Amino acid sequence: MDKIVIEGGHRLKGAVRVSGAKNAALPILCSSLLVRGASVFHNVPKLNDITTMGRLLERLGCVVTPGRAFRVDATGVEQFEAPYELVKTMRASVLVLGPLLARLGRARVSLPGGCAIGARPIDQHLKGLEALGAKLQLVHGYVEARAKRLRGARIVCDVPTVTGTENLMMAAALAKGVTVIENAACEPEIEDLGRVLEKMGARLSGVGTKVIEIEGVDELRPIEHTIIPDRIEAGTLMVAAAITRGDVLVEGCVPEHLEAVIAKLRAAGAEVDLEATGVRVRVRGELRGVDITTQPHPGFPTDMQAQFMVLAAAASGQSVLTETIFENRYMHVQELARMGADIHVDGRTAIVRGGTRLAGATVMATDLRASASLVLAGLVASGKTEILRVYHLDRGYDQLEKKLRSLGAVARRVRPRKSAA
């Protein structure tokens, strides 16, 4: 398995461009299942999760041509099963449920089960699809869904769910009549999916707010679309700039998608300037601790909590972080503690006492954003940090170590030697 080795203590300087958003690309690739014909998506990031999604779409009968311009021809889709092997490696596979049901009237999708960061049920996806007229059964660990033609309905989500809202939007786009999703999630990735469905010919309003209205149509058409930039990758690079007391222009990101993150960087003492080509982050003085509570968008994103924990450890003073979205998203704490961070977790709250210089160590990545936090910790730690199990990082970051290297970090990937046969 690959590892990343970082020599800490280098200030980051220069400009770096963010890739397309993983969490926008995944639902958007699934939306191609709604259409007979080939859709082309630009700015698709090169990530393991995208490869997995490509494999799943192929398995369903799509002709997939991967690349930054990613082509999916879903004309021949006949299969309706997302098997356990694929769903267990990537929960976002559940995003084929809505489109398959809408297009084929049938879907069989493995239940994802729990995952490292929490239980993550899909009850809201299922409740919404039932409201649209689907008959659902849980059989041998699979959700089996059937519907002759979905019918528009009013759906009130108990919690705002990102992939749940996306599944329901895609299902509703081919339903008969009008669907209203209340307490919908408002993340920018949902807005991007909304733009895609509109281009395909669906009629939507309210996307990006808590109430989305979708008027279904009989048929959708293939499209071309450019995926939005990845706000979490951008935020991660901004934190890298801040903690190394660097000066970095994060190019191509959308500042409006990052308002909560930028506000906290400023509160921590970073200078954040919105420039014509991106967001410049500089730290000339001291970094101060900041308190953070994760919230659905437009609040502070849970996907940036682990990275800000490293900032809190590198800053002076105390920070209180509260994770409200997932119940087990503090797995990076033990690894950061091994590097000398002073963190006390009590339930969903983590108290970080900053001001200690982290020391390089061998640490283990446990999930995607936890891995990113270990890379960041390595940038400021004294000496060498080795991060093992970086396949977690590769699921969601497009060559992060290469981008950091281009800014002056000393970071390299070490691949295991092939044993002589």
| Catalytic residue ranges | 115
Site for ligand EPU in 140-179 (CB under 6 A): 159, 161-164
393 lies in the binding site for ligand EPU (CB under 6 A): no
Closer of 131 and 361 to ligand EPU (Cβ)? 131
DSSP 139-158: ETTEEEEE-SS-B--EEE-S
Residue 3: CB minimum distance to ligand EPU, A:
20
Q: Which pair of tokens denotes residue 21?
A: 């958003």
Secondary element (H or E) of residue 38? strand 38-42
325 lies in the binding site for ligand EPU (CB under 6 A): yes
Closer of 252 and 396 to ligand EPU (Cβ)? 396
Distance CA 277, CA 29 (A): 27
Closer of 150 and 372 to ligand EPU (Cβ)? 372
DSSP 82-93: E-HHHHHH-GGG
Binding mask 67-86 for ligand EPU (x = CB under 6 A): --------------------
23 lies in the binding site for ligand EPU (CB under 6 A): yes
* 3-class secondary structure, 200: helix
Closer of 143 and 314 to ligand EPU (Cβ)? 143
Question: In what order do the strands lie in the sheet containing 384-388?
Answer: 362-364, 384-388, 3-7, 410-414
369 lies in the binding site for ligand EPU (CB under 6 A): yes
Closer of 20 and 164 to ligand EPU (Cβ)? 164
92 lies in the binding site for ligand EPU (CB under 6 A): yes
Closer of 185 and 242 to ligand EPU (Cβ)? 185
* 3-class secondary structure, 332: helix
Residue 128: CB minimum distance to ligand EPU, A:
9
The span of 70-78, 122-130, 270-278, 331-339 binding ligand EPU (CB under 6 A) equals 122-130
Length of the chain: 421
Binding footprint of ligand EPU, residue count (CB under 6 A): 24
214 close to 203: Cβ distance less than 8 angstroms: yes
Interface residue with ligand EPU among 326, 352, 364, 397 (CB under 6 A) is: 326
368 lies in the binding site for ligand EPU (CB under 6 A): yes
Phi-psi region of 389 (alpha: psi -120 to 50; beta: other; left: phi over 0): left
Residue 11: CB minimum distance to ligand EPU, A:
27
DSSP 165-198: HHHHHHHHHTSBSEEEEES----HHHHHHHHHHH
- Centre a 10 Å sphere on the Cβ of residue 214 and count the other Cβ atoms it contains: 28
**Cis bond leading into 298, ω under 30°?**
yes
26 lies in the binding site for ligand EPU (CB under 6 A): yes
Site residues (vs ligand EPU, CB under 6 A): 23, 26, 91-92, 118, 120-125, 159, 161-164, 185, 302-303, 325-326, 368-369, 396
